[in-house]
Amino acid sequence: MSVVTVEVGLGERAYDILIGPGLIGRGGELIHKRLPKARAAVVTDENVAAAHLEPLVESLSAAGNAPAVITLPAGEKTKSFASLETVVDQIIAARLERGDAVIALGGGVIGDLTGFAAGIVRRGMHFVQMPTSLLAQVDSSVGGKTGINSPRGKNLIGVFHQPRLVLADTAALDTLPLREFRAGYAEVAKYGLIDRPDFFSWLENNWQEVFSGGPARIEAIAQSCRAKADVVARDEFETGDRALLNLGHTFGHALEAATAYDGARLVHGEGVAIGMALAHRFSARLNLASPDDAARVEAHLRAVGLPWRMADIPGALPDAEALFGYITQDKKVSRGALTFILTRGIGQSFIAKDVPASEVVSFLKENRQE
């Protein structure tokens, strides 16, 4: 299977995303081509190290660049100040310079943490993303948002630091647990729902092959990266359009917070899936979109095995007012109104300012237990 290249057009900070099988084992050669003089450190987590570290270290060593390796525990808790300190310290201990490269081999947790470390050590080192989860391949490895969590909330500390190269090895996804694959798929479907209705229809017909591997998987990842790259090139620092990427995230983040970020109950992509279904239903309730479109979104999420309504979350949820409280922790309410990503139909999302808070609360009441 061939490798697809997607360019992120950011002028002098432009970079390529390479998508295809076997790229981890070619990491040494591909990085050397772009950064010939750079030495390297690889940051990864224990799960990914067990499955994918060896071919990368071998290939870097074969290219004359035996890396320092930093392996951290897997999971969201690793996006912390304590881990940042470890990574920064190990990069400095390995005597890497500004012109050297820090490589993230892992999911979004490792990518976000490593990118932040690369952005601040020696005021910014080269950064290479080697995403190994579907979510990281289609979303977090593209666009340069890096960071860690604060005990007061997710992703509150970080910098924009674009990678020099992204290598998305689609065969690495074969070892990803099915639940994590599905969670990443929610972000794939999101790009169709934002502004690519034909892509959403294509996914409805081809999702099985995206899950099983083969050319449709590469195609879905490439389409997703193109969609994200377009938005990032238009609005790198999220002053406008980039907010569309948050479709489903307002409800999703509130549900993640309401379940205390307990991955056994809800992982991020599952929150986004429910959030997207709710955003479509809410748009129908406001007479912006047809209820048929909301039903179509729900049917697709259900078909792939993703949760699509709040009742799919195991355990009790807080009441509607408390859920609304979580939404307003994430967003400010100005004169009784909020900004939301809503839709006029499949692939017709838009940034809605002035959404009445009272409508959101009534909607949550109607949908909490259904």
Ligand X SMILES: NC(=O)c1ccc[n+]([C@@H]2O[C@H](COP(=O)([O-])OP(=O)(O)OC[C@H]3O[C@@H](n4cnc5c(N)ncnc54)[C@H](O)[C@@H]3O)[C@@H](O)[C@H]2O)c1
Residues with a known catalytic role: 123, 145, 187, 228, 238, 242, 246, 249, 253, 268
Q: How far is the CB of 45 from ligand X (least distance, A)?
A: 5
27 is in an annotated binding site: no
Q: Does the annotation place 157 within a ligand binding site?
A: no
User: H/E element holding 118?
Assistant: helix 108-120
Q: Min. distance of Cβ 53 from ligand X in angstroms?
A: 11
Q: Residue 212 or 358: which CB sits closer to ligand X?
A: 212
Which of 155, 339 has the CB closer to ligand X?
A: 155
**Across the beta sheet with 101-106, what order do the strands follow?**
4-8, 15-20, 165-169, 126-131, 101-106, 40-45, 68-72
Residue 112 marked as a ligand binder: yes
Tell me the closest approach of the beta carbon of residue 113 to ligand X, in angstroms.
9
Which residue lies nearer to ligand X by CB, 191 or 363?
Answer: 191
d(Cα 285, Cα 280) in Å, to the nearest integer? 9
Of the two residues 49 and 360, which places its CB atom closer to ligand X in the complex? 49
C-alpha pair distances (Å), 128 with each of 21, 141, 161, 166, 190: 17, 9, 11, 6, 25
Closest approach of ligand X to the CB of residue 128, in Å: 15
The number of residues making up the chain comes to 370
The residues that touch ligand X, with contacts defined as CB under 6 A, are: 45, 47-48, 51, 74-76, 79, 106-110, 112, 132-133, 135-136, 139-140, 143, 145, 154-155, 172-173, 175-176, 180, 183, 268
Is 145 annotated to bind a ligand? Reply is yes
Q: State the burial class of residue 184 (Cβ atoms within 10 Å of its Cβ: 0-12, 13-18, 19+).
A: buried
DSSP conformation class of 66: P
> From CA 222, how far away is CA 203, in angstroms rounded?
13
User: CA–CA separation, 101 vs 34, rounded Å?
Assistant: 11
- Select 132 or 224, whichever has its Cβ closest to ligand X: 132
Coil, strand or helix: which one is 36? Answer: coil
Q: Is 29 annotated as a binding residue?
A: no
C-beta separation of 142 from 174 below 8 A: no
240 annotated among ligand-binding-site residues: no
158 in a labelled binding site:
no
> How far apart are CB 253 and ligand X at their closest, in Å?
10
Rank residues 169 and 298 by Cβ distance to ligand X and give the closer one. Answer: 169
Q: DSSP of 123-186, one letter per residue?
A: G--EEEEEE-SHHIIIIITSS-B--EEETTEEEEE--B---SEEEEEGGGGGGS-HHHHHHHHH
Q: Which is nearer to ligand X, 19 or 284 (CB)?
A: 19
Least distance (Å) between residue 218 CB and ligand X: 16
Is there a contact between 185 and 171 (Cβ–Cβ < 8 Å)?
no
What tokens were used for 202?
């294509």
- Residue spans of beta strands (DSSP E) within the chain: 4-8, 15-20, 40-45, 68-72, 101-106, 126-131, 148-150, 153-157, 165-169, 337-343, 349-356
Q: In the bound complex, what is the minimum distance in angstroms from residue 185's beta carbon to ligand X?
A: 11
Q: Show the tokens assigned to 276.
A: 């997207």
Find out whether 72 and 43 touch, Cβ atoms under 8 Å. Answer: yes
Is 268 annotated in some ligand binding site? Answer: yes
- Is residue 313 a known part of a binding site? no
Cα–Cα distance for residue pair 60/62, rounded to 1 Å = 5
Annotated binding residues for Zn(2+), written as ranges, equal 187, 249, 268
Annotated binding residues, written as ranges, equal 108-112, 132-133, 145, 154, 187, 249, 268
